[in-house]
A and B are shown apart, each in its own frame.
Chain A
Amino acid sequence: MDDYIVEMLNITKRFPGILANDDISIRLRKGEILALLGENGAGKSTLMSILFGLYKADSGTIRLRGKEAHVSNPNVANELGIGMVHQHFKLVHNFTVTENIILGLEPIKGLVVDLKSAARRIEELSETYGLNVDPYARIEDITVGMQQRVEILKMLYRNAEVLIFDEPTGVLTPQEIDDLMAIMRNLIAEGKSILLITHKLKEIKAIADRCTVIRRGKVIGTVEVADTDEARMAEMMVGRAVSFTVDKAPREPGAVVLEIDRLNVLSSRKTQAVKDLSLELRCGEILGIAGVDGNGQTELVEALTGLRKVQSGAIRLKGVDVTRATVRSRIRSGMAHIPEDRQSRGLVLDYSMEDNLVLEVYGLPPYSRAGFLDRKAIREHAGKLMEDFDVRAGEGSFAVARSLSGGNQQKAIVGREIDHDPDVLVAVQPTRGLDVGSIEYIHKRLVEQRDRGKAVLLVSLELDEIMDLSDRIAVISHGSIVGTVDPKSVTEAEIGLMMTGVGPSGVKKGVEK
């Protein structure tokens, strides 16, 4: 008989207009890594939220170590030994590692918090699992990878036996991903069990023992990872065969359409985020910006699109200086922007989809005339875009943006921006958090833009995406371009090295100039 530590049996959860989990059953064995694979909106996050006590299932049972459990809230989950590393870390930035970990269950010695004994315990844990975390470091001073380890320590400190990782690699560099895999192996070796939510097949193949595939709220099947390949899992997830490589014919780039000349931009905290950065983007090319998160990409993009003031330097769009132009005039001059943060920038979450799909053009005919909106035109436009870009929503164009899954929100934004037929498309993390099916589709549309002679500036933390799509790759580190390389003649490891700031002279081959 198998020794299951977690069993979620016949879980059903319904949201208005959508059946998020339809009679789902998953079983996690003690000491294994079970991957949960599924498209966006397939119901993985809902299922994990039910296990972690954030939602209550409409029906179905949860069994822990063979006994039925009622996880009514996250505190109960903690007590039952379930811990979760969220996609977005929940840390207090000006607290130390120790302070963050003990938050909520501070050990008391007399009247004061006993930081010392806590720190000692954290150090021990850190050693046992090979985490290498300094308990006295401040969160704001350590890397994202380290912050994630703090999140892991938080669970271990609370004696979690079952660890849920929600898309843990999204924010990590290739090296950090390798380290995380090693840590996960240590955790298993020490008797922990892991539920890994992901849509990255490569990672499942590398680390997971078994994989349960979910599609549209239903379990499609559970496979032994060793006996199956990536293509098979992708097919189960999407429901059809998926191509992993982007079909891209070679193409000679045309004239310069966007010129960035010695640009300097300050961050919100008044530090120099972009330093003397120069770049040229040509018609008919996809220029990828590779780099570790927080190296000035956000500020560069905001300066380009008009959302952030430029300190010095110039931005020229089709030869016209737009350094100080408004957001709207840049949009009208042919720039479009797929923003990094779809929830705060890309959509007005409380607006309906039809209103969101005219977010930049509501003031133009045919969507409005003489100051009044033309509902019919707006609705038709939304219907067409949502069909073209396969945006699924319970109530169609009337659906409030907030009610859509992340993937569908993203597809809507991509559709809206490409629909503007921009000369320059600034695409930031365009496929973040999407499943392979949607990624394939969005990549195809980006390449289509390029093939039609338009320019795409692709800013992404996913090195695979940059390598697959780009005609040229500019590597950014500490706000400057370290070098520009040709993706066909460079390896991931070499780019990884450049991302740490080592100039192209340190990387021997594949460098232009």
Chain B
Amino acid sequence: MKGLKNLFTALAAVILGLLAGAVLMWAIGANPIEGFSFLFRGGLMNVERIGNTLATATTLTLTGLAMAFAFRTGLFSIGASGQMLIGGLVATAIGLSLHLPKWEMLTLILLAAMLAGAIWGFIPGYLKARFNVHEVVSTIMLNWVAYWVVYYTIPAHFKANLETESARIPDYASLKVSWLTQFFHGSFINLGVFVAIACAVLTAIVLNKSVLGYELKAVGYSKTAAEFAGINVAKNMALSLGISGALAGLAGATFYVGYAVNMQIGVMPTQGMDAIAVALLGANSPLGVVLAAIFFGILHSGKGFMNAMTGIPPEIGDTIIAIIIYFAATSVLFTRLFDGLRARIRRRQ
């Protein structure tokens, strides 16, 4: 029942967001039906574009899972961007410094990125647990620490010709593999897509089936009751942010050594913030996050095509996302609508 309600809420938010987008298109004198058809065709019309949509969704899934995990424990982490940067930096550094066979290399890169992200998440977790520093403040600050660490490290140690980006990631260190790229007709898709699916499954298992998940959720729902039950609230909060960071660190690896070909400085990855929307729309459930990430992936990869074909500015795509976030955030309205409809249906029966 809860799942059905969440699905209803998410669909209502999406539909209203798309309707609002249609009104906007209409207001600037474009044809909304045409606009949407190109928006969705841009994300889905051929195998390559589907691959690109999935590649975009890969990173969003992982950051979305990171957010959802923290939210489920009652923590509002804003740190996915910084954790992505650190994970990506470590992945890039290893990729450019070591020379190992591809499979060993990728295993090492993923583990290292995960660990780096976990540390970046554990720091605010520890500060919260030990000194009651609010995680919103500390994660935002750490985002900028990561940003400047990248800003310094890449030009100092890993640049090629340009000051503003790292050298190109060699093939043996890239998550792109030829069979997958060829299967999707040369798209950006990479092995990260499997990492994301595996993480979604693992997160679902941890949250729903494990003792750890039971404790984390208990802390998230009620700190006082968790304390009463003898659950170490501080430890669980630190752990939760650590795990959330690990997921975001992996997202960094899939983005910087998978989707992209090198790491640029001076860019705060937007996937960290979009992840809040993904988690919100996905009702903090792993499956919901995957679906929401794919949907946002379609919008992201379709908006350029829509612009090219119709002259509708790509910002409309971003606006639709923003409006969907608003509707998802005010989901209590839809929940009430849902309950009201259900009651009416029941009464009629």
Q: Which residues of A contact B (CB under 8 A)?
A: 306-307, 326-331, 337, 339, 341, 344-351, 355, 359-360, 362-363, 368, 371-373
- B residues 225-245 touching A (CB-CB < 8 Å): 225-232
Question: A347 to chain B: which residues have CB within 8 Å?
Answer: 222, 225
Give chain A nearest CB distance to B284 CB in angstroms.
12
| In contact, A348 and B221 (Cβ under 8 angstroms) | yes
Apart from A362-B215, A368-B211, A371-B212: 17 A-B pairs, beta carbons within 8 A: A327-B227, A328-B229, A328-B231, A331-B230, A339-B228, A341-B224, A344-B224, A344-B225, A345-B225, A347-B222, A349-B222, A349-B225, A351-B217, A359-B228, A362-B214, A372-B210, A373-B214
Q: Which residue of A lies closest to B227 (CB)?
A: A307
- Of the candidates B210, B218, B222, B230, the one whose C-beta lies within 8 Å of that of A371 is B210
**A363 CA to B225 CA, complexed, in Å:** 16
**A327 CA to B215 CA, complexed, in Å:** 15
Q: Which residues of B contact A (CB under 8 A)?
A: 209-212, 214-215, 217-218, 221-222, 224-232
**A348 CA to B226 CA, complexed, in Å:** 8
Question: B225 to chain A: which residues have CB within 8 Å?
Answer: 344-349, 359
Give chain B nearest CB distance to A75 CB in angstroms.
21
| In contact, A360 and B222 (Cβ under 8 angstroms) | no
| In contact, A360 and B221 (Cβ under 8 angstroms) | no
Question: B218 to chain A: which residues have CB within 8 Å?
Answer: 348, 351, 359
**Given A349-B222, A350-B221, A351-B218, A307:B228 Cβ within 8 A:** yes
Give chain A nearest CB distance to B343 CB in angstroms.
8
Task: Please list the 6 inter-chain residue pairs (A to B) with the smallest Cβ-Cβ separation, ordered nearest first.
Answer: A328-B230, A327-B230, A345-B228, A344-B224, A359-B229, A350-B221
Question: B230 to chain A: which residues have CB within 8 Å?
Answer: 306, 326-331, 360
| In contact, A344 and B222 (Cβ under 8 angstroms) | yes
| In contact, A373 and B211 (Cβ under 8 angstroms) | yes
Give chain A nearest CB distance to B205 CB in angstroms.
8
Q: Which residue of A lies closest to B213 (CB)?
A: A373
Give chain A nearest CB distance to B340 CB in angstroms.
12
Give chain A nearest CB distance to B323 CB in angstroms.
29
Q: Could you pull out 9 A-B pairs where Cβ atoms are within 8 angstroms?
A: A306-B230, A326-B230, A327-B228, A330-B230, A348-B225, A349-B225, A360-B229, A371-B212, A372-B210
Question: B229 to chain A: which residues have CB within 8 Å?
Answer: 327-328, 359-360
**Given A360-B229, A372-B209, A345:B224 Cβ within 8 A:** yes
Give chain A nearest CB distance to B237 CB in angstroms.
16
| In contact, A337 and B209 (Cβ under 8 angstroms) | no
How many residue pairs at the A-B interface have CB separations less than 8 Å?
A: 64
**A372 CA to B229 CA, complexed, in Å:** 18
Give chain A nearest CB distance to B219 CB in angstroms.
9
Give chain A nearest CB distance to B201 CB in angstroms.
14
**Given A337-B228, A359-B229, A360-B229, A371:B211 Cβ within 8 A:** yes
- Of the candidates A307, A339, A373, the one whose C-beta lies within 8 Å of that of B210 is A373
**A120 CA to B338 CA, complexed, in Å:** 51
Which of B212, B218, B228, B231 gathers the greatest number of chain A CB atoms within 10 Å?
B228
**A458 CA to B225 CA, complexed, in Å:** 21
**A306 CA to B230 CA, complexed, in Å:** 9
Give chain B nearest CB distance to A399 CB in angstroms.
12
Give chain A nearest CB distance to B336 CB in angstroms.
13
**A223 CA to B211 CA, complexed, in Å:** 53
| In contact, B228 and A363 (Cβ under 8 angstroms) | no
Q: Which residue of A lies closest to B214 (CB)?
A: A362
Which of A355, A368, A372 gathers the greatest number of chain B CB atoms within 10 Å?
A372
Question: A371 to chain B: which residues have CB within 8 Å?
Answer: 210-212
**A61 CA to B258 CA, complexed, in Å:** 67
Which of B214, B225, B231, B232 gathers the greatest number of chain A CB atoms within 10 Å?
B225
Q: Which residue of B lies closest to A332 (CB)?
A: B230
Q: Which residue of B lies closest to A344 (CB)?
A: B224
- Of the candidates B209, B222, B227, B228, the one whose C-beta lies within 8 Å of that of A373 is B209
Give chain A nearest CB distance to B68 CB in angstroms.
16
Q: Which residue of A lies closest to B222 (CB)?
A: A348
**A504 CA to B178 CA, complexed, in Å:** 89
Q: Which residue of B lies closest to A378 (CB)?
A: B214
| In contact, A362 and B211 (Cβ under 8 angstroms) | yes
Q: Which residue of A lies closest to B2 (CB)?
A: A400
Question: A346 to chain B: which residues have CB within 8 Å?
Answer: 225, 228
**A330 CA to B227 CA, complexed, in Å:** 13
| In contact, B221 and A349 (Cβ under 8 angstroms) | yes
Give chain A nearest CB distance to B226 CB in angstroms.
7
**A345 CA to B231 CA, complexed, in Å:** 12
**A360 CA to B215 CA, complexed, in Å:** 10
Which of B212, B217, B230, B232 gathers the greatest number of chain A CB atoms within 10 Å?
B230
Question: B224 to chain A: which residues have CB within 8 Å?
Answer: 341, 344-345
**A372 CA to B218 CA, complexed, in Å:** 15
**A24 CA to B230 CA, complexed, in Å:** 44
Give chain A nearest CB distance to B30 CB in angstroms.
45
Question: A329 to chain B: which residues have CB within 8 Å?
Answer: 230
Q: Which residue of B lies closest to A370 (CB)?
A: B211
Give chain A nearest CB distance to B123 CB in angstroms.
25
**A376 CA to B52 CA, complexed, in Å:** 43
Question: B226 to chain A: which residues have CB within 8 Å?
Answer: 348
**A123 CA to B29 CA, complexed, in Å:** 69
**A351 CA to B228 CA, complexed, in Å:** 15
Q: Which residue of B lies closest to A345 (CB)?
A: B228
**A329 CA to B232 CA, complexed, in Å:** 12
**A349 CA to B226 CA, complexed, in Å:** 11
Question: B209 to chain A: which residues have CB within 8 Å?
Answer: 372-373
- Of the candidates A328, A331, A360, A372, the one whose C-beta lies within 8 Å of that of B211 is A372
Give chain B nearest CB distance to A17 CB in angstroms.
11
